[in-house]
Structure 1
Amino acid sequence: MRNQTLLQYFHWYYHDEEKLWQRAASQAASLKETGITGVWFPPAYKSTEGANSPGYDCYDLYDLGEFDQKNSIPTRYGTKEEYTTAINALHEQGIIVLADVVFNHKAGADELEKVAVRRVAEENREEYISEVFEIEAWTRFTFPGRNGKYSEFIWDKSCFSGIDWAEDLQETAIFSIQNEHGEGWGDVPSKEMGNYDYLMFNDIEFRNKAVREELKRWGEWYYESCGIDGFRLDAVKHIDSDFLIEWVDHLKAKFNRDFFIVAENWVIDDVKHLRDYIELTGGKMQLFDSMLHYNFYAAGNTGNEYDLSKIFENTLTESNPQRAITFVDNHDSQPLQAMDSYVDFWFRPLAYALILFRQQGIPCVFYPDLYGAEYTDHDAEGNEVHVELIGVNDLPLMLRIRRDLAFGFQRDYLDHPDCIGWTREGIPDAAGSGLAIVLSNGGDGAKKMEMGKGHAGKIFVDALGHRAEEIAIDENGWAEFFCNAGSVSVWVIKAG
């Protein structure tokens, strides 16, 4: 009996002196103690910038920090040996590990090829704005530093459906590659911009059977080499969903095990797109609930003007909680990133209460909220900006409360625009379990809520220490619980 809690163990700018894999190995025991049951690691393979990239501009999927390629042997996060050591250390603590899989694109090719292309309109990828012509493009990947170890597969122009750079013209544009697999784009879930198959770099051509087979072989090799427990699939709305189903099913059959699969389908407007993707993929994957994140973002920005009773409206957590991975922020939404929508600091403890203490969804904690982060980058206007993300002070305690006490029947009191709450009744198998949550985005809050008759006469205290009262549950299992203005209180059975 455990509450699952994931940790995104990185952020976009992680480049600390202590390599990430080494840090994870040294912290494995403390992560277990905190209540973390699963860790999502960043892309572990070599990128176009070697040790200077977060990894999403992936070059060689087989180079996990083992070969001298792109001016380094290790990746930003360390070597292959350090990676597998970290995985083993986490496994020894009963913590599962999710590998980040970037299948949409490759980057940093080794050789030029002459490629037949057509230009397409930026805002409508279905609209061609040129006839077929030939360019020189970086589309041939030979991985000379690896020299055929693990795989001799060569990626060439037949393996890609589009590219964004013509070397001979020194021109950036979106070029649709005209190959034997069809002149148009692949069939992908997103119809944004007409067809959102093309996102960036060298767009992988999933209509090429050789490509699909190579990626399945890589999946086998990755599991056999590293022993990971599941995968976070990047940018799935840009990828042929039939291939992803084929890939997941292949690994499941090959190794006779269910892998934990969570897909990133970033949606900003309508939860229907998330529900449709679950149906399209037969419920084989969990999805990050980006719609809940945007509700948190709006709540943080608008203060007491936000109606808290609607915090779960238009979210996957509301409509399909069994498939929802809930989160407050991630590497895409952190400050200075393309989808910067960082939840305001005052609301972060409230948001974490909303994902950690409820039955619905599996929460995923963001690295800076536990450890903090500091970095410098440029904003959209080119100005240098220094960012300091402060950890959420109450988060380690909240995680331990989730681990030990957040069990049992849930009663909701999401019935007021400025103050909401809920209770968890607890279970016999978890001694002292059960809790009551009250949070407010306005003045001091109070909610009369039911804990259940089994708690009659028990004394509850605010585990976070924000309120000093001791609250007695009446003979019918009810009590009035409180919280401070713009804050959250977590009421638990008084020890002793």
Structure 2
Amino acid sequence: MNGVIIQFFHWYHPGNLWNEFAEKAEYLKDLGFTAVWFPPANKCSLNMEGRGYDVYDLYDLGEFDQKGSIPTRYGTKAEYLMAIEKAHEVGMSVYADIVLNHRMGGDEEEKIMVHQLSEENRNERISENMEVSAYTKFTFPGRKGVYSNFIWDHHCFSGIDYVIREGEEMKGVFKIHNEYGEEWTDAVSHQFGNYDYLMGADIEYRNPYVVEEMKKWIRWYMETTKVDGIRLDALKHISSNFLKDWVSYIKTEVNPECFVLGEFWKDEAEKIEYFSDKMSDLISCFDTPLHYNFFKASQDGKDYDMSRILKGSFLEKKPVFSVSFVENHDTQQLQALESAVKDWFKPLAYAIILLTDEAYPCIFYPDLFGADYIDIKDEQEVHIIMPKVEELPGLLEARKLFAYGKQTDYFDHPNCVAFVRKGDEKHADCIVIMSNSEEGYKEIELGKEHADSVYTDFLKNRHEEIYTDKDGKAVFTVNSSSVSIWVKKQTP
């Protein structure tokens, strides 16, 4: 089956998401989506303002009166479970977003020992050891021990970004001293010397009680929600030793069929491949390098060499474990990893991830539905409009009908490239051709079995009919900065 994921949220989504999905589930299934990736459902430190990544309580899915309300930004626990049920009803899998790296919004202060580190080199001390107060105790008073009575304190954390010393507030990267030493774990990305610390109260996965609690929690979560898979946030900041053990636990003790997708944000496929190998292929990974290829291609226009669009991608390295995307909530405008693909190139990018062999594509909510939002940048209000990609429903339909069989590439020109999917017993062939410059063409020989056939553009960007000769050869065309999918004309 040609699976397709919908990332059913974006950073500026106004909320009430679970109910919205339930209303749109049938429509999404009809478009060809087979899985939905939901944002984190947990209660946040910022609650209704939080997007799920500022994790406060993983056991509160919008059920307890904590951080100012019972529901989360996206709805109540009952609505979340109903949305998952609706997805299953229409035959879609559900992938839950899980944040393992940190906690935010602690309930009580503790006196702890720390030292401060350079933000550019997290191995370089820039202070003496000092006693400070920090919000490192999480007691979850609103939940009152329901589901778990585990109390998080400074023994459960390795670092923090906000402390109080002798009444003075301090911000930075502070290493918490605990029974696991005064150094970070080494089993993380070595960006900035050591990238264990990202934000909030950084979880200490060398603590066996923490590991045990996280195993207990994921069992509870999967049994409670019945999700089919998980998307794991910020993996380059998490101990790979813990991660491998924890995912192995899920696969052996909780759900052997669980699909695990990781965000290991690197622009070099070799580094993602190294991580994937280290995880013994337990975790699929987002193809960040391919996203950056799309971003650069959209910026450079006709100066970008389209014959190299797949070069350096994770799809090239380990296609079975690669999830391709055009953009997501982190890359949209005004976000930390802003690298928004320009609108003109999105149909080409989506044609590549939806119609090439082996890709498992993920479609971003605003590209299907559009988005309109306001945020602040450099103290100025910025209004962003993300128009929907008009070709997307057609491309999704083409995936259902034609993205089968052997693929032959014609990536032999810097501005105009094509590939052919041969089809199978049940599905016809198709020719996908795209140009990032002027109108283009490609001579393609499909074989004698396609002799004297008539082809039309499935996307209706071109209006002529193309006839193959006695050898099944023809010249297929494409508009400037566009994509066409040539398929055999249906005879009435």
Does residue 482 of the first structure (1) align with residue 473 of the second (2)?
A: no
- Which residue of the partner structure matches residue 225 of structure 1? 224
- Which residue of the partner structure matches residue 382 of structure 2? 385
Structure 1 contact 355–363 (Cα < 8 Å) conserved: yes
Structure 2 contact 438–481 (Cα < 8 Å) conserved: yes
Aligned partner of 2:286 among 262, 280, 288: 288
Code of the aligned partner of 2:109 = L
Does residue 439 of the first structure (1) align with residue 461 of the second (2)?
A: no
Does residue 113 of the first structure (1) align with residue 96 of the second (2)?
A: no
Report the Cα offset of residue 256 of structure 1. Answer: 4.8
What's the secondary structure of 1:332's corresponding residue? coil
Structure 1 contact 135–169 (Cα < 8 Å) conserved: no
Distance 1:95 1:200 in 2: 33
Distance 2:58 2:385 in 1: 32
CA offsets per residue over residues 277-301 of structure 1, 9 Å max, x none?
1111111111101111111111101
Percent of pairs identical after alignment?
48
Report the Cα offset of residue 324 of structure 1. Answer: 1.0
Q: CA 1:452/1:68 → structure 2, altered by over 3 Å: closer, same or farther?
A: farther
Of residues 356-365 and 155-164 in structure 1, the stretch that sits farther from structure 2 once superposed is 356-365
- Which residue of the partner structure matches residue 454 of structure 1? 449
Distance 1:287 1:475 in 2: 45
Distance 1:69 1:252 in 2: 32
- Which residue of the partner structure matches residue 464 of structure 2? 469
What's the secondary structure of 1:364's corresponding residue? strand
Distance 2:187 2:5 in 1: 28
- Which residue of the partner structure matches residue 261 of structure 2? 262
Code of the aligned partner of 1:88 = E
CA offsets per residue over residues 453-493 of structure 1, 9 Å max, x none?
43333321101111111112333333211100111111112
Distance 1:145 1:265 in 2: 34
Does residue 399 of the first structure (1) align with residue 399 of the second (2)?
A: no
Q: CA 1:90/1:451 → structure 2, altered by over 3 Å: closer, same or farther?
A: farther
CA offsets per residue over residues 389-417 of structure 1, 9 Å max, x none?
00000101111110121111100001100
What's the secondary structure of 2:211's corresponding residue? helix
- Which residue of the partner structure matches residue 74 of structure 2? 77
Structure 2 runs not aligned, ≥5 long: none
Report the Cα offset of residue 258 of structure 1. Answer: 1.9
Code of the aligned partner of 2:161 = D
- Which residue of the partner structure matches residue 67 of structure 1? 64
What's the secondary structure of 1:318's corresponding residue? helix
Of residues 182-191 and 102-111 in structure 1, the stretch that sits farther from structure 2 once superposed is 182-191
Report the Cα offset of residue 94 of structure 1. Answer: 1.1
Structure 2 contact 248–282 (Cα < 8 Å) conserved: no
Code of the aligned partner of 1:462 = D
- Which residue of the partner structure matches residue 127 of structure 1? 124
- Which residue of the partner structure matches residue 164 of structure 1? 161
Code of the aligned partner of 1:375 = Y
Distance 2:447 2:234 in 1: 44
Code of the aligned partner of 2:480 = A
Does residue 315 of the first structure (1) align with residue 313 of the second (2)?
A: yes
Structure 2 contact 356–407 (Cα < 8 Å) conserved: yes
- Which residue of the partner structure matches residue 364 of structure 1? 362
CA offsets per residue over residues 43-101 of structure 1, 9 Å max, x none?
00000111221110010000000001010111111011101111111111111000001
Aligned partner of 2:329 among 328, 331, 351: 331
- Which residue of the partner structure matches residue 14 of structure 2? 15
- Which residue of the partner structure matches residue 194 of structure 1? 193
Report the Cα offset of residue 305 of structure 1. Answer: 0.4
Distance 1:339 1:149 in 2: 37
Report the Cα offset of residue 317 of structure 1. Answer: 1.2
Distance 1:347 1:225 in 2: 41
Distance 2:291 2:317 in 1: 15
- Which residue of the partner structure matches residue 212 of structure 1? 211
CA offsets per residue over residues 81-132 of structure 1, 9 Å max, x none?
1011111111111110000010000000000000110111110001112221
What's the secondary structure of 2:337's corresponding residue? coil
Does residue 39 of the first structure (1) align with residue 36 of the second (2)?
A: yes
Report the Cα offset of residue 29 of structure 1. Answer: 1.0
Distance 1:94 1:188 in 2: 38
Distance 1:352 1:280 in 2: 30
Of residues 321-330 and 451-460 in structure 1, the stretch that sits farther from structure 2 once superposed is 451-460
Distance 1:371 1:253 in 2: 38
Aligned partner of 2:55 among 42, 53, 58: 58
Distance 2:490 2:221 in 1: 47
Structure 1 runs not aligned, ≥5 long: none
Of residues 192-201 and 319-328 in structure 1, the stretch that sits farther from structure 2 once superposed is 319-328
- Aligned-residue Cα RMSD (Å) equals 1.1
What's the secondary structure of 1:170's corresponding residue? strand
